[in-house]
Amino acid sequence: MDAVPASRRVFVDSPNVRYEDDQIIADYRYSANEVTKRPNGVVHVKPVEKRLQIRTNRKVNRLGLMMVGWGGNNGSTLTAAIEAHRQGITWKTRQGLRKPNWLGSLTQASTVQIGLDTTDGSPVYVPFKDLLPTVDPKDIIIDGWDISSADLNESVRRAAVLDVGLQDQLEPYLKFCKPKPSVYKEKFIALNQMGRADNLIEASDQKVLDQIREDIRQMKSKADTVVVVWTANTECLCPVLEGVHDTADNLLAAIANGHEDVSPSALFAVASILEKVPFINGSPQNTFVPGVRELAQREKSWIAGDDFKTGQTRMKSVLVDFLVSCGIKPVAIASYNHLGNNDGKNLSSHQQFLAKKASKTNVIDDAVLSNDILYEPGEKVDHTVIIEYLPYLGDSKRAMDEYTSEIMFGGTNTIVMHNVCEDSLLAAPVILDLAILTELATRISFRSVDVKDSEFQPFTTELSILSYMFKAPIIQEGGHVVNALNKQRASILNIVRACLGLAPEHHMDLETKIPPFVLNDPNAPADEHRKLLQPFY
């Protein structure tokens, strides 16, 4: 029997879903609660329901991924991983024969519960990538920019992330990958990076912007969808100046006039926006100043970020949410990191560290705000973050955390965690997921059934469906930040389920908790229903 293509392995048999040659159209009822806090302390809840049509184009676009900082540890590792998959390379280690995998990738290595099996009631899981048509990583076209002229073979060897046996086999494929010249401004990038800076666009900001746009246009000639990802060094925080960063027009004028306070990342963001390609910021600096965000909204171009969420901070977003949800009150968190890769070297500069510290400390804010039983208005957790550069460790990052919480009757609970990981082997799958999910997002649109003659609309400019991958996700004005990892993951999965006309995964599993008669015979007398529903078992 012929293998079934991945994009057709999940078929939804429902009158609410239509599979057409080029698209899937789902009729979907979006349920939510409108809540009003009244002066007398009563919380008034009104369930509401919106009728939507969700359209997903089935044709997967040829994806071009352009990375700023392509020759860094993250960019070179991801490129090597894609090439290893593409070539089917295997290599020997002390632990035995190894082959490429995508462990750590939401789209490639995780599964989704789709329902309960009709034969035995057991949960049925399917790969995330099989729910909707998605990009195969082996088909991604990669290019990018770097302040270093080293080719990707040199970059991979310099990073020392991958086994030498794998590096040797990848050399014929990586040595021809050469980064395009990039942007270096001493005001924003640590001075300890000057030794690498031999591949620069030496021109005014306007000409730099024009060159980046031309580079993007070259990729657009090869790919249907282009995504630009900043995975370069952390910049220092940009001063947000009136008349420079506050509006789109002022920012464009500042670039034309060569204002010194326009950051390199802002130049790449503006170039991407003007070329109508999504720009994703994987570092913690404030690239998305008001002028950048206004320009993105005006040009109807997507932006997302900030700062990849991978190891220590991902664990923090899980643990603090868990503690607060249990009614335990975190009061002090001390986080210590030491690492030896170039990211660590860059962060040894104080101004760059301050940008990173902000994104690593703010990740718990939404958990604190969610529980006004534990926390008074304005109350903060005593939270400190320290990062130290230790060159010997290379890409092997050490993270140590101590969480102190208050429990009953003045007691305390302290959790200490030690996390050791290859930093770039966690970050590379996150960049892959960002590219794949962004491409998928370009093919999804929504229409209100309740509004006459409404047209299909895409996601908003701030592509917050990607928040799962960021320490400090940007959101639409008037929205609220969600940092809790499980909530962020559920958001992605339930939106994908909605594209297939499926309800959110509620994990109620009433099929296993109440008598089958109740669910299977809706015509049973009301008194029989009441009798059988007490108690649940």
pLDDT at 349: 65
**Sheet with strand 412-422: strands edge to edge:** 382-389, 329-339, 396-406, 412-422
Q: How confident is the model at residue 535 (pLDDT cuts 50, 70, 90)?
A: very low
Residue 307 known to be catalytic: yes
309-334 in b/e form (b: 16+ CB < 10 A) is bbbbbbbbbebbbebbeeebbbbebe
Choose, from 129, 357, 397, 401, the residue flagged as catalytic.
Answer: 397
pLDDT at 193: 77
CA dihedral for 158, 164, 167, 168, sign (positive or negative)? positive
Q: How confident is the model at residue 359 (pLDDT cuts 50, 70, 90)?
A: low
The tens digit of pLDDT for each residue in 283-320 reads 988 999 999 999 999 999 999 988 899 888 888 888 99
Least confident span in 22-31, 40-49, 337-346: 337-346
Q: What pLDDT shows up at residue 306?
A: 83
Q: Which of 205, 307, 343, 423 is catalytic?
A: 307
The pLDDT > 90 percentage for the chain reads 66
Q: Mean per-residue pLDDT for 49-77?
A: 96
Q: Which candidate, 122, 121, 96, 126, places its Cα nearest to that of 111?
A: 126
Q: How large a percentage of the chain has pLDDT more than 70? A: 91
How far apart CA 151 and CA 178 sit, in angstroms, is: 5
pLDDT reported for residue 189: 85
Instruction: Check if the beta carbon of residue 462 is closer than 8 Å to that of residue 447.
Output: no
Domain covering 63-308+425-497, topology: Rossmann fold (3.40.50)
* Strand (E) or helix (H) holding 488: helix 485-499
State the pLDDT confidence band at 8, using cuts at 50, 70 and 90: low
Per-domain residue ranges of the chain: 63-308+425-497, 312-422
pTM summary value: 0.90
Which pair of structure tokens corresponds to residue 178? 């050469």
Phi, psi of 122 (to 5 degrees): -80, 150
Query: What residue type is assigned to position 290 of the chain?
Result: P
Give the least confident one: 9-23, 314-328, 386-400. Answer: 386-400
Tokens 């705000």 sit on residue:
369
- CB-CB contact of 456 with 445 (8 Å): yes
pLDDT at 358: 67
- What pLDDT, on a 0 to 100 scale, did the predictor assign at position 517? 61
- Say whether 222 is catalytic: no
Query: In the annotation, is 180 catalytic?
Result: no
At 196 the pLDDT is 84
Contact 306, 363 (CB under 8 A): no
118: CB partners within 8 A, 6+ apart: none
More confident residue, 203 or 515: 203
Same fold flag, 63-308+425-497 and 312-422:
no
Distance CA 307, CA 481 (A): 14
- At residue 521 the predicted structure's pLDDT band, cuts being 50, 70 and 90, is low
Which one is catalytic: 180, 345, 357, 471? 471
Is the pLDDT score of 80 beyond 90?
yes
Phi, psi of 47 (to 5 degrees): -65, 135
Per-residue pLDDT tens for 163-173?
999 999 999 99
| The total number of residues written for the chain in this structure | 537
pLDDT at 463 over 60: yes
Measured between alpha carbons, how far is residue 131 from residues 124, 168, 437 in Å? 13, 36, 12
Cα torsion for 194, 195, 196, 200, to the nearest 10°?
A: 50
Hey, which residues does 19 pair with through a beta bridge? 24
356 counts as catalytic: yes
Average pLDDT for 421-426: 89
For domain 312-422, say whether CATH 3.30.360.10 is its number.
yes
Q: Where does 196-288 show beta strands of DSSP type E?
A: 225-230, 279-281
In this prediction, residue 252 has a pLDDT band, given cuts at 50, 70 and 90, of: very high
Catalytic hit among 180, 316, 345, 356: 356
- Which of 514, 438, 498 lies closest to 223, judged by CA? 438
Asked if 137 and 436 count as a contact pair (C-beta separation under 8 A), the reply is: yes
Strand partners, 47: 33
Per-position DSSP letters for 447-497, written without gaps between them? EESSSTT---B---SB-GGGGGGBSS----TT------HHHHHHHHHHHHH
Can you tell me the mean pLDDT for 10-34? Answer: 93
Only one residue has tokens 């660590």, namely 344
